[in-house]
Amino acid sequence: MSFRRRGEIVGGINRNHSQGGERAPQGSVIASNIGSAGFRPTGTSPPRSGVPRGRPVQSRSPISRGLLPERSPRGTNGHEHPLNAHPGIKPSLLTSSPCTSTGSADIDRVLGHQGLPLGTSLLLEEDGTTDFSSTLVKVFLSQGLVHTRLPNLKTKNTHEIVIGMPAEWSRSLPGVYKGSSKEQKLKKLEESQKRISVANVIEQRREEAVPQLKIAWRYGLQRQQKGLSNDSQVDIPSQYPEYNAQFDITSTLLPAASPQELTSVPLGSTENYSAILRIVRSIVERYSEQLIRIAVPLFLNPIVYTEQKWQDPREVIRFLHGLKAILDKHSSRVTMVITLNLDLYPRSDPLVTIIESSLVDGVLELRPFDSQLHEYLEAVYKNQPSKVKHGHLNIHKIPQLSDLGLMKVSEMELSFKNCKKRFEVEQWSIPVDEEETQEKDLKPSDLEF
């Protein structure tokens, strides 16, 4: 039977006796907690709360090192990706996925995301002999050029690809709407007032004559006091001021798109759809740090697709499958818009059914009014020509970041108008022809109660 002294280290082997106490070994040992708290033999140093008194551990690495991948705070290459600060990209209101504008604020609203989600495609179908869909495609391309030409940009942030059309076609893209002559004068007046507003306020404070401020400045203050009545109708949020521009379809964007901004892939320069896909892939990979906008206007139109090989359904399906594969591979920076005439390829055609169901993510149909209805609208709104619409906008499918999309069907509920300063989309309502009656000439004495 062995005995040990009170306060002696358990498991100690080499004990060096000092005056009145024991010294713990210089290794990794366990301090004894036997005895009352605070008690220690005379002449011994106080214990350090059970912490070993051995050599401290240096440069110890975490257990997870080597098991989990290291992540850089700014990206895989240690620097921030240029698209993170792209002025034309913002999160979707539905899925928080990155979206870019189609160039039309109303079309962005119809899609639900306030834009076209990256990695998705939109098919614009149109009935009749009109060409409103080409206007939307041109606005889509003009929006990309406006983004890449913003001031204070060191490098280009957007590149565009036009399939099937010659380079001359892209020279007629619409320019930014600058407002009417009256609006431009008011804008210049407001800018001049803002430049001298500080001096005006100081002078008015001294004179205590606030009502004597200039009219433009005073009405500006009153507009701010009214609240959000006007601000709620603004299409562009304040946190994304450059997201969407307003275009004038009667003007032309100057200067025209350069080869560094837009690449045209006409059908005459290629042999088949496979060659077009190779060119598109090379362009997308070449501009790897830019947002890519792909436009396919007048798809399968005999005016452009003259030869029979371009209209072969099997080749068309392979071609669209290839474009969809490019979108899936570069889903974080590529979008596409296609236009198709339904008089040439109706929706009952099996080819169109396959395209709508599995090869595109969104489908919108532009159905212009017939001549009789258009004349009726002009007669009803003869004093208000701005209310005359051009046709119905039907929704068959909207992009939803999935292979099948979100099957949202809306027919005969929306109407559109292609006006000078914007492509308007509003709720459709049947107008009422209010004919003049004798009730306007009735006197109060003639009224019956």
- The per-residue pLDDT for 82 is 65
DSSP 138-194: HHHHHHHHHHHT-TT-SS--EEEEEEES-GGGGGG--EE----HHHHHHHHHHHHHH
Confidence of residue 134 (pLDDT cuts 50, 70, 90): very high
Cα distances (Å, whole numbers) of residue 318 to 296, 357, 360: 15, 15, 13
Lowest mean pLDDT among 2-6, 326-330, 375-379, 408-412: 2-6
**Domain locations along the chain:** 88-177+245-427, 181-233
Query: Which residues have CB under 8 Å from 105's CB, separation 6+?
Result: 235, 236, 244, 246, 422
Are β-strands 116-117 and 98-100 bridged in parallel, bridged antiparallel, or unpaired?
antiparallel
**Amino acid type, 69:** P
What pLDDT digit, counting tens, does each position of 105-119 carry?
A: 999 999 989 999 999
Check residue 301 and give its pLDDT.
94
3-class secondary-structure state, position 224: helix
Question: Does 210 have pLDDT greater than 50?
Answer: no
Share of the chain above pLDDT 70, in %: 64
63, HSE (Cβ side, Cα atoms, 13 Å): 0
Does the pLDDT of residue 259 top 90, yes or no? yes
Assess whether pLDDT exceeds 60 at residue 232. no
Question: Strand (E) positions, 370-442?
Answer: 391-397, 410-418, 423-427
Query: Is the pLDDT assigned to residue 61 strictly greater than 80?
Result: no
404, with CB counted inside 10 A (0-12, 13-18, 19+), is exposed
pLDDT at residue 76 above 50?
Answer: no
pTM more than 0.75: no
Assign 261 a pLDDT band (cuts: 50, 70, 90).
very high
Please check the confidence at residue 66 and state whether its pLDDT lies above 50: no
Where does the pLDDT of residue 37 fall: very low under 50, low under 70, confident under 90, or very high at 90 and above? very low
Which residues lie closer than 8 Å to 292 by C-beta, 6 or more apart? 158, 159, 160, 161, 283, 284, 330, 333, 334, 335
Identify residue 274 by its one-letter amino acid code.
S
Lowest mean pLDDT among 155-169, 404-418, 426-440: 426-440
d(CA 116, CA 112): 9
Instruction: For residue 264, give the 3-state DSSP assignment.
Output: strand
Mean pLDDT taken over the chain: 77
Least confident of 44-58, 286-300, 422-436: 44-58
Is 80 exceeded by the pLDDT of residue 120?
yes
CA-to-CA distance for 330 and 293, rounded, in angstroms?
Answer: 12
Per-residue model confidence (pLDDT) at position 20: 46
Residue 275, pLDDT above cutoff 90: yes
Nearest to 368 by CA among 132, 109, 122: 132
Q: Given this model, what pLDDT does residue 226 score?
A: 42
In Å, how far are 237, 241, 260 from 190, measured between CA atoms?
A: 21, 19, 37
Mean pLDDT confidence for 369-374:
86
Q: Report pLDDT for 196.
A: 55
* pLDDT band at residue 84 under the 50/70/90 scheme: confident
Q: Is 317 exposed, middle or buried (0-12, 13-18, 19+ CB in 10 A)?
A: middle
On the question of pLDDT at 435 being above 70, the answer is no
Q: Which CATH class is domain 88-177+245-427?
A: alpha beta
| 3-class DSSP assignment, residue 440 | helix
pLDDT, tens digit, 9 for 90 and up, residues 287-318: 999 999 999 999 999 999 988 889 999 999 99
Q: Please name the residues in contact with 356: beta carbons below 8 A apart, sequence gap of 6 or more.
A: 123, 347, 363, 396, 397
pLDDT of residue 405: 55
Looking at residue 379, what is its pLDDT?
A: 84
Least confident segment among 5-9, 259-263, 356-360, 384-388: 5-9
Q: How far is CA 84 from the centre of its chain?
A: 12
Q: State how far the Cα of 91 lies from the Cα of 78, in Å rounded to an integer.
A: 24
Determine phi and psi for 161, rounding to 5 degrees: -130, 125
Report residue 328's pLDDT band, with 50, 70 and 90 as the boundaries: very high
Lowest mean pLDDT among 220-224, 252-256, 424-428: 220-224
